[in-house]
């Protein structure tokens, strides 16, 4: 009986941060091309476009394939206290003066099914992100939620580094962006910016709460991993009139906004979007080893 109780407790502990309601994830655990020779990227590098790893998706990543403007798989460059990170990471950037097709770099992916929109629905989005290079004078980068409007993809929420309202669309030379989000839920753009500069790496977590007629968007930066973050610690919160159903995800950058991305997850609970804590994994493995020794 003691053995049975011990095993049940161990499984319960592992499930407490598990993915019972995970909607989709991509940890960018893809092979890195042997031609990856650093930045700038070139045609020999591994594009995210055409890859189909992870779970909860309807198909592969699609998007720009013009080198070097495609989103690229690179070796991991980020870490986070308490997280166990696997695989590689994703790098995106855009180029000034390029054509319409490649002044931004990004990729889209369709979810296995529509998410959100109805009263009582809750959607969590989480990812790691870090800006590269000089963050001044850049434009935008983010993980965006889209819905399919009769074959036309319409952006509803960008989470990451929103674009400010630049005079004449020209970023000031001394401008440094801040983490935040841009909502298009009401039909027009609304930027919400935190006081945290994109020079700081972030574990970015955002919750969308749907009432059927409104959506409340709440964001946290670098929340504790062990429990659901308190609203009092949120860096941003805004309620919008309207609703939408998310059908696609895009990761993109525009105009030299260089970003690294990792650990992308969507779920219905906070636990779904939190990478497995390293301490819990080690504790579980250690406990399992101890259990086996006692057999």
pLDDT digits (tens, 9 = 90+) for 158-181: 999 987 644 444 445 445 678 999
User: How is residue 101 written in tokens?
Assistant: 């097709």
Q: What is the mean pLDDT of residues 150-157?
A: 95
What's the pTM? 0.82
Q: What is the DSSP letter of 30?
A: -
Cβ atoms of residues 261 and 144 within 8 Å: no
φ, ψ of residue 178 to 5 degrees: the values are -125, 150
Q: What is the pLDDT of residues 100-110, one digit of tens each?
A: 444 467 899 99
Poorest-pLDDT segment among 34-43, 50-59, 121-130:
34-43
The rounded distance, in Å, linking the Cα atoms of 243 and 266 is 18
Per-residue tokens: 98: 């390029």
Q: 51-55, 70-74, 114-118, 282-286: which has the minimum mean pLDDT? A: 282-286
Instruction: Identify whether the C-beta of residue 258 lies closer than 8 Å to the C-beta of residue 93.
Output: yes
- Mean pLDDT along residues 264-271: 97
Q: Which of 25-39, 60-74, 101-115, 280-294 has the lowest mean pLDDT?
A: 280-294
Cβ neighbors of 261 (< 8 A, separation 6 or more) are: 28, 89, 90, 91, 92, 127, 128, 129, 143, 251
Q: Where are the beta strands (DSSP E) in the chain?
A: 22-26, 62-63, 72-74, 89-92, 104-115, 122-132, 141-149, 152-161, 178-183, 190-197, 202-210, 214-221, 236-241, 246-254, 258-267
Bridge partners (DSSP) of residue 25 are 55, 265
Q: Per-residue confidence at 15, pLDDT binned at 50, 70, 90?
A: very low
- The listed CATH number (2.60.120.200, 2.60.40.10, 1.10.357.10, 3.40.50.1580) that belongs to domain 20-166+176-269: 2.60.120.200
Where are the chain's structural domains? Answer: 1-17+277-295, 20-166+176-269
Residue 152: predicted pLDDT: 94
**Contact (CB, 8 A) for 29 and 87:** yes
Of 70, 72, 247, 63, residue with least CA distance to 155: 247
């Amino acid at each position: 009986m003691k053995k049975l109780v011990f095993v049940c407790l161990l499984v319960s502990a592992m499930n407490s941060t598990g993915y019972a309601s995970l909607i989709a994830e991509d940890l960018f655990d893809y092979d890195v091309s042997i031609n990856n020779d650093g930045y700038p990227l070139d045609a020999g590098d591994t594009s995210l476009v055409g890859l189909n790893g992870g779970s909860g998706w309807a198909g592969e990543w699609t998007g720009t394939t013009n080198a070097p403007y495609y989103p690229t798989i690179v070796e991991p460059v980020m870490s986070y206290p308490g997280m166990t990170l696997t695989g590689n990471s994703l790098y995106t950037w855009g180029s000034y003066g390029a054509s319409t097709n490649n002044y931004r770099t990004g990729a889209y992916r369709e979810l296995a099914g529509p998410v959100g929109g109805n009263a009582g629905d809750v959607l969590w989005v989480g990812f790691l992100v870090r800006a590269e290079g000089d963050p001044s004078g850049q434009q935008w980068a983010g993980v965006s939620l889209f819905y399919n409007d009769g074959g036309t993809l319409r952006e509803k929420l960008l989470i990451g580094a929103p674009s400010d309202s630049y005079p004449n669309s020209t970023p000031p030379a001394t401008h440094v962006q801040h983490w935040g989000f841009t909502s298009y839920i009401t039909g027009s753009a609304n930027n919400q910016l935190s006081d945290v500069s994109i020079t700081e790496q972030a574990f970015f977590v955002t919750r969308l709460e749907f009432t059927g007629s409104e959506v409340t968007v709440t964001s946290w930066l670098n929340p504790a991993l062990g429990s659901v973050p308190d609203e009092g610690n949120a860096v941003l919160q805004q309620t919008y009139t309207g609703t939408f159903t998310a059908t696609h995800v895009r990761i993109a950058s525009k105009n030299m906004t260089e970003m690294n991305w990792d650990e992308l997850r969507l779920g219905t609970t906070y636990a779904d979007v939190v990478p497995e804590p390293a301490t819990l994994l080690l504790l579980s493995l250690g406990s399992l080893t101890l259990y086996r020794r006692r057999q």
